[in-house]
Amino acid sequence: MSELEDLMDKYAKDYDNDDIDNIINYVRKQLAMYDAGIKPKRTEVEQLDMQAIVANITRKKIIPSGTSKPSSAKMKRRI
């Protein structure tokens, strides 16, 4: 959405009516791409966010041994 934010900021600065058309066209194009199953390219900031989320998930998976009970399925296998 940062490109849209740029367009909105430009309008807030210049009050150029052409920017309204640009904003509407940009949003419609993005939504049409989404409808067609084309994922929008992530911005650098969004990529960093995703990396942080993935890192967080990875960290959560590392649980010190002995702190959680094995699942019932694992228990059955052990029995």
Partner 1 sequence: MSDLNVAELVESLQATGLDPVVVDEQFFEPPSLFLEGTKIQYIWDATSIEYYKRCPRLYYYKMICGYQSEDEDIHLRWGQEYHTALHQYEQLKASGLDHDECLWHVIKELLLRTREWKPDHKFKNKPFLVRSVIRRIDKFKEDPAELMTLKDGKPASEVSFMFELNYGPREGIKYILCGLLDKVVDYMGDIFFMDHKTSNYSLNMDWYRPHNQMSLYTIACKIVFNTNIKGGIIDHATIQVNDTKIERGMTHRTNDELDEWLEELEEWLEDAKRSAEQNYWRMNDTACDKYGGCKFRGICGKARSVRERFLKSEFKQGEIWNPLKPR
Report if residue 11 touches partner 1, rule: CB under 8 A. Answer: yes
60 alpha-carbon distance from chain centroid: 19
Which residue, 29 or 74, has its beta carbon nearer to partner 1?
29
Report if residue 29 touches partner 1, rule: CB under 8 A. Answer: no
Point out which span in 29-37, 55-63, 65-73 binds partner 1 (CB under 8 A).
29-37
Q: Quick check: 10 and 16 in contact, CB under 8 A?
A: yes
DSSP characters for 21-57? HHHHHHHHHHHHHHHTT-PPPPPHHHHHHHHHHHHHH
Give the residues lining the site for partner 1 (CB under 8 A).
1, 4-5, 8, 11-12, 17, 20-21, 23-24, 27-28, 30-31, 34, 39-40
